[in-house]
Amino acid sequence: MLGLTYRGPGEPARLVELPTPEPGPGEVLTRVGANTVCGTDLRILRGEKSKGVELGVVLGHEVAGYVERVGEGVTGFELGDLVSMPPSVCCGVCGPCRRGHEHLCEDVHLVGYDINGGLAEYMLIPREAIQRGQLLKASGHLEPAQLALAEPISCCLNGMDNYRVEVGDVVVILGAGPIGLIHLQLARIAGARTVVVSDPSDTRRASATALGAQVTVDPTSQDLGAIVRDLTGGEGADVAVLCIGRPELVNDSLTLVRKRGRVSIFAGLGGEGWSNIAANLIHYREITIVGASNSGRASFARAVRLIESGAIDTKSLITHTFPLSKATEAIEFVAAGEGIKVAVVPD
């Protein structure tokens, strides 16, 4: 089978011929339906993320496929079932796992890092993932690329569990890439009264409007803070969600929320991850800052059900599709900032 493999930090990914895996006892072999490219794949290739990434691994962790072969002892899956799995296989025994925060596992194995991922014709689902109930069946009416988005959607759900949206809230989203557009939709589902999306790109702001943002702002020519104050009687937004990894925006986010407002540092920050902030804003205004990283099985299952129900629009997030034979072009396309979500499908 063909698979797009990691060759080391800063090296271009290479499409190579690999043996098609055989499912052993407890494993399931899936025929990949689609894998959507993620910013994380780019960070791995650039060498910005190297912890836990193995040389030669097949990249891609946002994947959906069809059950092709079922290993000995596996029950509940049939040939042709449309399935997807959360990419983290956690240890179950470390501190975070024991506290129920498996997405923060200290000894995690990850699809696309050290488990062969979805930028290939076939993907083997590990026994541990099957045993832990991670492989989820979804309604066959979905396009596989829609189901592949369960991964980023589940991460956004985990983020939202931390920052919370209450009915009637005003939510500001900084960055209208795929992640910002997912937070926008979730905020609308959760009952936000107004969602404000800020992004310098005209096309991304147009996507935000199409997906329900009541207000979009071009931060290069408009005063986002003044617009938010106008919308909120001078108080500030209830929530700001940082969906772009620019350190200087952390402090901007603090200035956008009301007293006792919430700020989510959802995006990982570039460089060393440092940011200068006016900490007294947090102190005097009693602002809550929360993080979010990865997602667990429960968030993933919620994401799959949301996609199936149509409550979240996944089709309009997938703007481009590349055949697997052009997977390197797909990666370059995403790196150039083109499109929203780019799907790679086996030829």
Give me the least distance between CB of 329 and Zn ion, in Å please. Answer: 19
Placement of tokens 């063909």 in the chain: 2
Which C-beta is closer to Zn ion: that of 28 or that of 156? Answer: 156
Q: How far is the CB of 36 from Zn ion (least distance, A)?
A: 8
Q: How many CA atoms lie within 13 A of 58 on its CB side?
A: 28
Confirm or reject binding of residue 94 to Zn ion (CB under 5 A).
Answer: yes
Site for Zn ion in 21-40 (CB under 5 A): 38, 40
Q: What is the CA radius of gyration of the chain?
A: 20
The residue from 16, 91, 301, 335 that contacts Zn ion (CB under 5 A) is 91
From CA 286, how far away is CA 137, in angstroms rounded? 43
**Binding window for Zn ion (CB under 5 A); candidates: 98-106, 198-206, 230-238, 255-263:** 98-106
H helix or E strand, kind and range, residue 321: strand 318-323
Q: To the nearest whole angstrom, how small is the minimum distance from the Cβ of residue 151 to Zn ion? A: 5
Residue whose token pair is 């402090």: 251
- At which residue do the structure tokens 């499912």 appear? 23
Per CB under 5 A, 105 contacts Zn ion? yes
C-beta of 21 vs 118, nearer to Zn ion: 118
59, 67, 83, 97: which one contacts Zn ion (CB under 5 A)?
97
Nearest-angstrom CA–CA distance, 23 and 301: 24
Tell me how far the alpha carbon of residue 4 is from its chain's centroid: 20
290 near Zn ion, judged by CB under 5 A: no
Q: Does residue 282 bind Zn ion (CB under 5 A)?
A: no
Interface characters, 257-276, with Zn ion (x: CB under 5 A): --------------------
Whose Cβ is closer to Zn ion: residue 128's or residue 235's? Answer: 128
Contact 165, 142 (CB under 8 A): no
Q: How far is the CB of 184 from Zn ion (least distance, A)?
A: 17
Q: How many CA atoms lie within 13 A of 29 on its CB side?
A: 16
**Alpha carbon distances (Å) from 225 to 217, 234, 252, 286:** 10, 10, 8, 19
Q: What is the dihedral of CA 271, 119, 117, 80, to 10 degrees?
A: 150
DSSP string computed for 109-175: EEBTTTB--SSBSEEEEPHHHHHTT--EEE-TTS-HHHHHTHHHHHHHHHHHHHH---TT-EEEEE-
289 binds Zn ion per the rule CB under 5 A:
no
Contact status: 211 vs Zn ion (CB under 5 A): no
Among the residue ranges 97-105, 109-117, 203-211, 311-319, the one whose residues contact Zn ion (CB under 5 A):
97-105
Least distance to Zn ion, CB of residue 227, Å: 30
- Residue 201 beta carbon to Zn ion: minimum distance, rounded to whole angstroms: 20
Q: Is 90 in the site for Zn ion (CB under 5 A)?
A: yes
110 binds Zn ion, rule: CB under 5 A: no
Stretch that binds Zn ion, among 16-24, 83-91, 173-181, 204-212 (CB under 5 A): 83-91
Q: How far is CA 311 from CA 12, 160, 166, 173, 189, in A?
A: 37, 16, 18, 19, 8
Site string for Zn ion, 42-71 (x = CB under 5 A): --------------------x---------
Shortest Å, Cβ 291 to Zn ion: 17
Q: How far apart, in whole angstroms, are the C-alpha atoms of residue 90 and residue 96?
A: 10
Question: 207: left (phi > 0), else alpha (psi -120 to 50), else beta?
Answer: alpha
Task: Fill in the DSSP letter of residue 89.
Answer: E
Distance in Å, CB of 132 to Zn ion, minimum: 12
- Looking at the Cβ atoms of 40 and 216, the one nearer to Zn ion is 40
- The residues binding Zn ion (CB under 5 A) are 38, 40, 62, 90-91, 94, 97, 105
